[in-house]
Protein backbone atom coordinates (compact mmCIF):
# COMPACT_ATOMS: atom_id res chain seq x y z
CA UNK A 1 0.00 0.00 0.00
CA UNK A 2 1.33 3.33 -0.91
CA UNK A 3 1.65 5.59 2.09
CA UNK A 4 0.71 9.24 2.25
CA UNK A 5 3.96 11.24 2.48
CA UNK A 6 4.82 12.51 5.95
CA UNK A 7 5.03 16.08 4.68
CA UNK A 8 1.36 16.07 3.78
CA UNK A 9 0.36 15.05 7.22
CA UNK A 10 2.60 17.71 8.78
CA UNK A 11 1.10 20.35 6.52
CA UNK A 12 -2.35 19.25 7.66
CA UNK A 13 -1.44 19.41 11.34
CA UNK A 14 0.25 22.79 10.93
CA UNK A 15 -2.80 24.17 9.21
CA UNK A 16 -4.99 22.78 11.94
CA UNK A 17 -2.72 24.31 14.58
CA UNK A 18 -2.81 27.78 13.11
CA UNK A 19 -6.53 27.63 12.49
CA UNK A 20 -6.84 26.90 16.21
CA UNK A 21 -4.47 29.73 17.13
CA UNK A 22 -6.30 32.13 14.83
CA UNK A 23 -9.62 31.14 16.33
CA UNK A 24 -8.28 31.55 19.82
CA UNK A 25 -7.08 35.05 19.09
CA UNK A 26 -9.95 36.38 17.09
CA UNK A 27 -13.04 34.92 18.73
CA UNK A 28 -14.45 36.63 21.79
CA UNK A 29 -16.88 33.86 22.66
CA UNK A 30 -15.39 31.66 25.31
CA UNK A 31 -16.99 28.47 23.99
CA UNK A 32 -15.49 29.07 20.59
CA UNK A 33 -12.11 29.74 22.16
CA UNK A 34 -12.37 26.41 23.96
CA UNK A 35 -13.12 24.71 20.65
CA UNK A 36 -10.03 26.39 19.14
CA UNK A 37 -7.90 24.94 21.90
CA UNK A 38 -9.26 21.51 21.04
CA UNK A 39 -8.11 22.06 17.45
CA UNK A 40 -4.60 22.92 18.65
CA UNK A 41 -4.48 19.80 20.78
CA UNK A 42 -5.69 17.65 17.93
CA UNK A 43 -3.02 19.01 15.60
CA UNK A 44 -0.47 17.89 18.17
CA UNK A 45 -2.12 14.46 18.34
CA UNK A 46 -1.84 14.09 14.56
CA UNK A 47 1.85 14.91 14.75
CA UNK A 48 2.39 12.30 17.47
CA UNK A 49 0.66 9.59 15.48
CA UNK A 50 2.41 10.52 12.26
CA UNK A 51 5.88 10.50 13.72
CA UNK A 52 5.17 7.28 15.54
CA UNK A 53 4.01 5.64 12.37
CA UNK A 54 6.75 6.92 10.08
CA UNK A 55 9.83 6.93 12.25
CA UNK A 56 9.28 4.09 14.76
CA UNK A 57 6.61 1.82 13.29
CA UNK A 58 7.38 -1.00 15.75
CA UNK A 59 6.78 1.16 18.84
CA UNK A 60 3.65 2.64 20.42
CA UNK A 61 4.82 5.63 22.53
CA UNK A 62 3.26 8.18 20.21
CA UNK A 63 -0.06 6.41 20.37
CA UNK A 64 0.01 6.29 24.14
CA UNK A 65 0.86 9.96 24.28
CA UNK A 66 -2.08 10.74 22.10
CA UNK A 67 -4.36 8.82 24.42
CA UNK A 68 -3.05 10.79 27.36
CA UNK A 69 -3.53 14.08 25.55
CA UNK A 70 -7.16 13.15 24.77
CA UNK A 71 -7.77 12.25 28.41
CA UNK A 72 -6.18 15.45 29.66
CA UNK A 73 -8.12 17.44 27.09
CA UNK A 74 -11.35 15.95 28.37
CA UNK A 75 -10.47 16.91 31.93
CA UNK A 76 -9.47 20.37 30.77
CA UNK A 77 -12.80 20.83 29.06
CA UNK A 78 -14.69 20.10 32.26
CA UNK A 79 -12.61 22.63 34.16
CA UNK A 80 -12.95 25.20 31.40
CA UNK A 81 -16.72 24.73 31.19
CA UNK A 82 -17.00 25.14 34.94
CA UNK A 83 -15.04 28.40 34.74
CA UNK A 84 -17.18 29.60 31.88
CA UNK A 85 -20.39 28.85 33.78
CA UNK A 86 -19.12 30.77 36.78
CA UNK A 87 -18.09 33.68 34.63
CA UNK A 88 -21.48 33.62 32.99
CA UNK A 89 -23.17 33.79 36.36
CA UNK A 90 -21.05 36.78 37.31
CA UNK A 91 -21.12 38.78 34.07
CA UNK A 92 -24.25 37.33 32.34
CA UNK A 93 -22.22 36.92 29.19
CA UNK A 94 -19.63 34.60 27.69
CA UNK A 95 -17.86 37.47 25.91
CA UNK A 96 -14.17 37.46 26.87
CA UNK A 97 -13.72 41.23 26.67
CA UNK A 98 -16.36 41.86 29.31
CA UNK A 99 -14.37 39.94 31.93
CA UNK A 100 -11.47 42.37 32.29
CA UNK A 101 -11.69 43.28 35.95
CA UNK A 102 -8.23 41.81 36.71
CA UNK A 103 -6.37 44.57 34.93
CA UNK A 104 -3.87 46.97 36.47
Partner 1 sequence: MDIAAILIPLLPLLSFVIIGLTSKHIGHKLSGAIATAAILTSLALSLVVAKEYFFDLGRVNGAYAPHIAFNFRWLTFNSSLGIDLGAILDPISVMMLVVVTSISSMVHIYSFGYMHGEERFKNYYSYLSLFTFSMLGLVLSINIFQMYIFWELVGVSSFLLIGFYFTKQSAIAAAKKAFIVTRFADLGFLIGILVLGFGAESFDIASINERLTAAGSIQMLGMKSVTFLGLSSLTWGALLVFMGAAGKSAMFPLHIWLPDAMEGPTPVSALIHAATMVVAGVYLVARLFPIYSISAPEALHFIAYVGVFTAVFAAIIATTQNDIKRVLAFSTLSQIGYMMFAIGVAGWGPEQSEGFTGSMFHLFTHAFFKALLFLGAGVVIHAIHSNDMTDMGGLRKMLPITNAMFLIACLAIAGIPPFAGFFSKEAILNAAYHSDKLIFGLGVFASGLTAFYMFRLYFNIFWSRPATDHHNHEKGSAAMIVPLVILGVGSVFAGFIPFGEFVSADGKPVELVVHLGFSILPVCVAAAGILVAYVLYFKKNDRPDKIAASLGGLYKAVSNKFYIDEVYLFVTKKVIFPFIGRPAAWFDRNVVDGAIQQSGLVTEKLSGSIKQLQSGKLQSYTMYFLGGAILLAALLIFKFL
Residue with smaller CB distance to partner 1, 71 or 85 = 85
User: Closest by alpha carbon to 15, among 32, 40, 33?
Assistant: 40
Rounded distance, CA 71 to CA 68, Å?
Answer: 5
Residue with smaller CB distance to partner 1, 49 or 87 = 87
Site string (12-41) toward partner 1, x via CB under 8 A: ---------x--xx--x-------------
Q: Where are the alpha helices (DSSP H) in the chain?
A: 6-26, 30-55, 61-91
Distance in angstroms between the alpha carbons of the first and the last residue of the chain: 60
Q: Which stretch binds partner 1 (CB under 8 A): 2-10, 45-53, 68-76, 96-104?
A: 96-104
Q: Does residue 30 contact residue 94 with C-beta atoms inside 8 Å?
A: yes
Length of the chain: 104
Residue with smaller CB distance to partner 1, 18 or 64 = 18
Q: Which stretch binds partner 1 (CB under 8 A): 51-59, 66-74, 78-86, 95-103?
A: 95-103
Q: Provide the binding-site residues for partner 1, judged by CB under 8 A.
A: 21, 24-25, 28, 96-97, 99-104
Amino acid sequence: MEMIPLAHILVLSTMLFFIGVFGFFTRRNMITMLMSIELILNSVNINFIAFNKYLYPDQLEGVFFTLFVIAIAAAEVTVAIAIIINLYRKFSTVDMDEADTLKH
